[in-house]
Amino acid sequence: GGKDRRSGLILTIPLCLEQTSMDELSVTLDYLLSIPSEKCKARGFTVIVDGRKSQWNVVKTVVLMLQNVVPAEVSLVCVVKPDEFWDKKVTHFCFWKEKDRLGFEVILVSANKLTRYIEPCQLTEDFGGTLTYDHMDWLNKRLVFEKFTKESTSLLDELALINNGSDKGTQQEKERSIDLNFLPSVDPETVLQTGHELLSELQQRRFNGSDGGVSWSPMDDELLAQPQVMKLLDSLREQYTRYQEVCRQRSKRTQLEEIQQKVMQVVSWLEGPGSEQLRTQWGIGDSIRASQALQQKHEEIESQHSEWFAVYVELNQQIAALLNAGDEEDLVELKALQQQLSDVCYRQASQLEFRQNLLQAALEFHSVAQDLSQQLDGLLGMLCVDVAPADGASIQQTLKLLEEKLKSVDLGLQGLREKGQSLLDQISNQASWAYGKDVTIENKENVDHIQGVMEDMQLRKQRCEDMVDVRRLKMLQMVQLFKCEEDAAQAVEWLSELLDALLKTHIRLGDDAQETKVLLEKHRKFVDVAQSTYDYGRQLLQATVVLCQSLRCTSRSSGDTLPRLNRVWKQFTITSEERVHRLETAVAFHSSAEKILQECPEQPEAFNEMEQFDEIEEVGKSLLDRLTVPVVYPDGSEQYFGSPSDMASAAEHIREKMKLVSLKKQQLRQPEAATPES
C-alpha cells in the first residue's frame, strides 16, 4: 500500500502456516501488478515477503517465482524472517547465489529493522510503521471499481452500438419497435449511480476508518483511477443521454405507429362492417311494432359503434398530446391522421344520427296513423249502428258527438300529412350518404308505403264524411219528424182546448136577433180557427208519414196522434154544428118575436096572423128544449154547453121574450072578443 524511498510502490505478500498455492499466488500477483499505470511500474516495486508465519522453503519459492512474474519491475525484495528461526548463513548464501539469476536484490530482515529500507510512514503497523491500511476495505472498493469499469465499458459498447445503429440505420430499422435485443444488459441508471458513489469515495481519499483517522492515499491518482471513473461517467452520461433520446424517439415512433394502427383499425371498421350495417338498414317498417324492431336493431348497431367511438376519443386525446409536444417532423402526419379519423367518425356518427331520426320520424308517423285508424274505426262503428233516439235533444247530442269526432279525425289526418311529409323529406335526403348504393328501390318502397297510408286514411276519412253527411241528414229528418209529431200533438191539444172553450164559454144565445147574429158570426170565425188548427195538424201528420217513409221507420204519429186529432175534430164539428143550430134557431126566434112585437096593433091584418104567434111559441119551446139536450158524440159520450146555471140564464132570456110574445098575443085577442059582444 505504501511507497519506498524511490517512490516505487510497495507490494506486501503475507504468508501463513497453511500451504500456499503458487498458482493462485502467481495469478494474484499478475492481477496486482496490472493495476498500476505504466508510469508507476517504471519506478519499480519493492516487495515485502512476510515469512514470519511460513517456512523457509515456501519463502524461497515465492522469491524465485517473482522473477517469472515481473522481474523487470521488482527492484528490491525484503524477506521478513522470524526472530532466530532460520540459519542466516544458509539463507544469505542461498539468495546471494541466486542474485544474478533473480535480477533483483533480496534482503533478509527482521520486522523491527525493516524501517532501515522503508520509511515508517509507508509501513503498516504489522511492520512497525504508521500507515493506516484496511486491506478488506481496499479490496471491496477495488471490486466495486472493477465491476463499475466492466459494466460501464460493456454498457458504453452497447449504448454506442444502439446509438450508432440508430444514427446509421435505415428508415425501416429506425421505425422498428423496441424489443429485448434493443435494451441494454444492465440498467444505465444503476451503473451511473454506482460510478458516482465510487467517485465520491475516491475523491474523499480515505477509507472507512475511524472518524479521527489520518487521511491517506494508498495509490496515486492514476492508480485510484479517478480520471478513469470520471471519464467513464462522462462517456456514460453522453451515451446515456443519446440513448434516452433514441428511446424517446423510438417510443414516440412506436406510439405513433400504434396510433396509426389503431386509427386504421377504427377507419377500416367504420368504413367496412360499420358502413355495411347501415347500408343494409333502409326500411322504416309498416307499423309501430316494425319500427320499434328496427329501432332496437339500430340501437345494437349504435352500441357497436360506441365502442369504436370510445377508441376514437382516446386516440384523439393521444394525438392532441403529441401535437402539443411540438415535434415538427410528425406534425403533418399526426394532423393527417387526426383529420382522417375525425372525418370518418363524424361522417359515421352523422349517418347514425340520421338513421335514428328517420326511424323516430317513422315511429311517430305510424303512431299517428294508428291513432287516426282507431279514430276512424270508432267513428265508423258509431255510424254503422242504427240508433233510435228518444227525442230531439238526444239527436242534437249525437250530432254534436259526430261533429267532434269528425273534427278530431280532420286534425289527425292533418297531423298524419305533416308527419308523412316530414318523413318523405328525410327519405329524399337519404341518398346523400348512400356510398354509391342505388337506394331508388328501397326509397320507392318507403315512399309508396307512406303515400299509401296517407291515401288510405284519406279514403277512409272521405267515406266516414259521406256517412256522416247521410247520418246528419237522417238525424235532421228525425229532428224534423220529432218536431212534426210534437207540433201535431200540440195541434191536438189546441183543438181540444178550442172544443173545451166551445163547450164551456160559448153558451149565450143573445138577447135579440142582432146580438145573436153577432154571436153567430164570431162562432164562424172560431170555427175557422179550429179548422186551421185541424188542417195544420193534418199537414204535420202527413209530413211525419213522408219523413217516416224517407227514414224507413214506422210512423208513431199515425197510430196515435192522427186518431186523436180526428176524434177531437169530430167532436168539435158536432159541437160546432149544435152551436150553429142553436144560434140559428135563436136568430129565427128573436127575429120573429121582434117583428111581432114591433108591429102596430091598429093594423087589421095583424089580427090575421095569429098563426105566427103560435109558430114563435113553438120555436121558443123547441129552443128551450134543445138547451137541455146534451151533445152526443160518436163514441156515445155526452157533453153539455156550460154549467146548469149558465144554461138556465140563457133559457131565461128566451122565456122572457116568449112571455112578451104571449102578452102581445093576448092583447090582440081581446079586441076580437069585444067585437062579437057588441
| Average pLDDT of span 187-206 | 79
- Cα–Cα distance for residue pair 350/348, rounded to 1 Å: 5
Q: What is the structure's pLDDT at 219?
A: 53
The pLDDT of residue 93: 45
SS3 at position 8: coil
Query: Of residues 611 and 176, which shows the higher confidence score?
Result: 611
Question: pLDDT value at position 453?
Answer: 93
Is the domain spanning 9-131 CATH 3.90.180.10? The answer is no
For residues 650 and 633, what is the distance between their CA atoms, to the nearest angstrom? Answer: 23
Cell readout for 182 is 434493443
Closest by CA to 601, choosing from 526, 529, 559, 663, is 663
Task: Tell me what pLDDT residue 92 has.
Answer: 53
pLDDT computed for residue 99 by the predictor: 60
Q: Express each pLDDT in 105-142 by its tens digit.
A: 888 888 888 888 888 888 888 888 888 777 787 778 87
Cα distance between residue 484 and residue 492, in whole Å: 12
pLDDT tens string 396-405: 888 888 889 8
The Cβ of residue 167 has, within 10 Å, a number of other Cβ atoms equal to 10
CA distances from 403 to 376, 414, 551 (A): 13, 16, 21
Residues 6+ apart with CB under 8 A from 588: 619
So what's the pLDDT on residue 1? 62
DSSP bridge pairs for 105: 76
Predicted confidence band of residue 220 (pLDDT cuts 50, 70, 90): low
Q: What is the pLDDT of residue 95?
A: 62
H-assigned helices in 270-391? 275-279, 288-325, 328-384
- Cell 121574450 maps to which residue? 657
Query: Phi/psi of residue 105, each to 5°?
Result: -90, 140
The helix or strand, by DSSP H or E, that contains position 191, with its residue range, turns out to be helix 188-204
DSSP string, 39-56: HHHHT-EEEEEE-TTS-H
Predicted confidence at residue 215, as pLDDT, reads 46
What is the distance between the alpha carbons of residues 265 and 257, in angstroms, rounded to a whole number? 12
pLDDT value at position 89?
46
- Residue 153 near residue 160 (C-beta atoms within 8 A): no
Place of cell 338498414: 281
Share of the chain above pLDDT 90, in %: 12
Which residue is associated with the grid cell 492514476? 222
Instruction: Give residue-wise pLDDT tens across range 357-394.
Output: 989 999 999 999 999 999 989 888 888 877 666 677 88
Kindly report the three-state secondary structure assignment for every residue of 485-520. HHHHHHHHHHHHHHHHHHHHHCCCCCCCHHHHHHHH
**Per-residue pLDDT, 455:** 94
Task: Quote the cell numbers at residue 493.
Answer: 191539444
In Å, how far are 349, 542, 557 from 563, measured between CA atoms? Answer: 85, 13, 9
Dihedral (CA of 466, 467, 470, 473) sign: negative
Label residue 416 by pLDDT band (50, 70, 90). very high
Bigger pLDDT: 566 or 74?
A: 566
Of the candidates 187, 275, 199, which has an alpha carbon nearest to the alpha carbon of residue 233? 199
pLDDT of residue 363: 92
The angle at the Cα of 397, spanning 391 to 402, to the nearest 5 degrees, equals 125
Q: Is the pLDDT of residue 70 over 70?
A: no
Reported as a single tens digit per residue, the pLDDT across 426-463 is: 888 865 555 445 556 668 888 999 999 999 999 999 99
pLDDT digits (tens, 9 = 90+) for 501-518: 988 888 888 888 898 899
CA distance 345 to 631: 109
Amino acid in position 179: D
Longest dimension (CA), the chain: 256
Buried b (16+ CB within 10 A) or exposed e, 311-340: bbeebbebbeebeeeeeeebeeebeebbee
Residue 81 main-chain phi, psi, to 5 deg: -100, 160
- pLDDT, tens digit, for every residue of 620-632? 888 888 888 888 8
pLDDT digits over 472-490, tens only?
Answer: 888 888 888 888 888 888 9
If 0-12 CB within 10 Å is exposed, 13-18 middle and 19+ buried, where does residue 182 land? Answer: middle
74 pairs with which residues across the strands? Answer: 45
Query: pLDDT tens digits, residue range 318-340?
Result: 888 888 876 666 788 888 888 88
Query: Cα 606 to chain center, whole Å?
Result: 125
pLDDT tens digits for range 536-554: 999 988 888 888 877 777 6
Rama region for 49: left / alpha / beta (φ>0; ψ in -120 to 50; rest): beta
- Right CATH for 506-677 from 2.30.29, 1.20.58, 3.30.360, 1.25.40: 1.20.58
State the pairing for strand pair 638-639/631-632. Answer: antiparallel
Long-range contacts of 320-325 (CB under 8 A, 24+ apart): 322/252, 322/255, 322/256, 322/259, 325/252
Cβ contacts of residue 279 below 8 Å, gap of 6+?
A: 434, 435, 437
Distance CA 678, CA 338 (A): 168
Domain limits, the chain:
9-131, 165-274, 282-295+326-475, 506-677
Please state the pTM of the whole predicted model. Answer: 0.56
pLDDT averaged over the chain?
80
pLDDT of residue 226: 78
Gyration radius of the chain's alpha carbons: 75
Res 223: pLDDT: 54
pLDDT above 60 for 210? no
Please give the distance of CA 82 from its chain centroid, rounded to a whole number.
Answer: 104
Query: What per-residue confidence (pLDDT) applies to 628?
Result: 83
The Cα–Cα gap between 184 and 157 comes to 10
With cut-offs at 50, 70 and 90, classify the pLDDT of residue 221. very low
Read off the pLDDT band of 650 (50, 70, 90).
Answer: confident
**Sheet of 105-109, strands arranged across:** 9-14, 45-50, 74-80, 105-109
